[in-house]
Structure 1
Amino acid sequence: MSSPPLRPENMVHQTIAPSSTSASSASSKISPMTLTLLRLVSTALIVGTLVACSSPPPASPSRTPAIPAPFPSLPPGAVVLPGDTGPLPAPMAQPKSRWVPVRWAELPGFTEDALHEAWNAWIKSCERPAPPFTALCSDVRQLSIATAEEQRAWLIARLQPYRVEATDGNPDGLLTAYYEPMMDGARQPGNGFNVPIYRTPAGLGARKPWYTRQQIESMPEAQAALAGRAIAWLRDPVESMVLHIQGSGRLRITEADGSVSLVRVAYAGTNDQPYQSIGRWLLDQGYTRDATWPGIRAWLAANPQRTNELMWTNPRYVFFREEPLNPLDAGFGPRGAQGVPLT
Structure 2
Amino acid sequence: MNLRSIRSALIALSVGIWLAACQTPPPKEPIPPVGKPSPDFLLASWADLPDWLAQELPASWPALQQSCSALRLKANWLPICAAAKDIAPDDAMAQRTFYETWFTPYKVLNPDGSDTGLITGYYEPLLLGSRKRSTRFAYPLYAPPDDMLEVDMSELYPQFRGNIVRARLQGKRVVPYF
Give TM-score, length-normalised by structure 1: 0.29
**Corresponding residue for residue 98 of structure 2:** 154
Out of 170, 175, 178, the residue aligned to residue 119 of structure 2 is 175
Q: Take 1:160 and 1:151, find their aligned partners in 2: how far apart are those partners?
A: 14
**Corresponding residue for residue 43 of structure 2:** 101
Question: What is the 5 A alignment of 1:299-310?
Answer: 300=170, 304=171, 307=172, 310=173
User: Structure 1 residues 153 and 173 mapped into 2: Cα distance closer, same or farther (>3 Å)?
Assistant: same
Q: Take 2:89 and 2:119, find their aligned partners in 1: how far apart are those partners?
A: 32
Out of 42, 60, 64, the residue aligned to residue 122 of structure 1 is 64
Q: Take 1:134 and 1:156, find their aligned partners in 2: how far apart are those partners?
A: 17
SS at match of 2:41: strand
**Corresponding residue for residue 271 of structure 1:** 156
* Alignment length (residue pairs): 117
Question: What is the 5 A alignment of 1:202-217?
Answer: none
Contact kept, 8 Å, 1:99 with 1:165, in 2: the verdict is: yes
Out of 134, 138, 142, the residue aligned to residue 78 of structure 2 is 134
Out of 156, 160, 166, the residue aligned to residue 110 of structure 2 is 166
SS at match of 1:99: strand
User: Structure 1 residues 143 and 270 mapped into 2: Cα distance closer, same or farther (>3 Å)?
Assistant: farther
Q: Take 1:139 and 1:268, find their aligned partners in 2: how far apart are those partners?
A: 40
Deviations 1:157-190 (A, max 9, x none): 22110011101224441222336698746xxxxx
> Structure 2: which amino acid aligns with 1:160?
T
User: Structure 1 residues 170 and 133 mapped into 2: Cα distance closer, same or farther (>3 Å)?
Assistant: same
> Structure 2: which amino acid aligns with 1:158?
W
Instruction: Provide the alpha-carbon RMSD of the alignment.
Output: 3.7
Q: Take 1:159 and 1:133, find their aligned partners in 2: how far apart are those partners?
A: 11
Q: Which has the higher strand share?
A: 1
How far did 1:146 drift? 6.8
Deviations 1:232-276 (A, max 9, x none): xx732xx21xx44xxxxxxxxxxxxxxxxxxxxxx794532799x
User: Structure 1 residues 124 and 99 mapped into 2: Cα distance closer, same or farther (>3 Å)?
Assistant: same
**Corresponding residue for residue 11 of structure 2:** none
Unaligned stretches of 5+ in structure 2?
A: 1-35, 126-140, 161-166
Q: Take 1:134 and 1:269, find their aligned partners in 2: how far apart are those partners?
A: 35
- Provide the identity percentage: 23
Deviations 1:193-230 (A, max 9, x none): xxxxxxxxxxxxxxxxxxxxxxxxxxxxxxxxxxxxxx
How far did 1:109 drift? 1.5
Unaligned stretches of 5+ in structure 1?
A: 1-93, 186-233, 245-266, 276-292, 314-343
Q: Take 1:180 and 1:155, find their aligned partners in 2: how far apart are those partners?
A: 22
SS at match of 1:108: coil
User: Structure 1 residues 173 and 271 mapped into 2: Cα distance closer, same or farther (>3 Å)?
Assistant: same
SS at match of 2:81: helix
> Structure 2: which amino acid aligns with 1:161?
P
Q: Take 1:151 and 1:180, find their aligned partners in 2: how far apart are those partners?
A: 22
User: Structure 1 residues 102 and 171 mapped into 2: Cα distance closer, same or farther (>3 Å)?
Assistant: closer
User: Structure 1 residues 100 and 272 mapped into 2: Cα distance closer, same or farther (>3 Å)?
Assistant: same
Question: What is the 5 A alignment of 1:247-326?
Answer: 269-272=154-157, 300=170, 304=171, 307=172, 310-311=173-174
Deviations 1:60-97 (A, max 9, x none): xxxxxxxxxxxxxxxxxxxxxxxxxxxxxxxxxx9510
> Structure 2: which amino acid aligns with 1:235?
D
SS at match of 2:121: coil
Q: Which has the higher helix share?
A: 2
Question: What is the 5 A alignment of 1:67-106?
Answer: 96-106=38-48
SS at match of 2:86: helix
User: Structure 1 residues 124 and 166 mapped into 2: Cα distance closer, same or farther (>3 Å)?
Assistant: same
**Corresponding residue for residue 22 of structure 2:** none
Q: Take 2:85 and 2:155, find their aligned partners in 1: how far apart are those partners?
A: 37
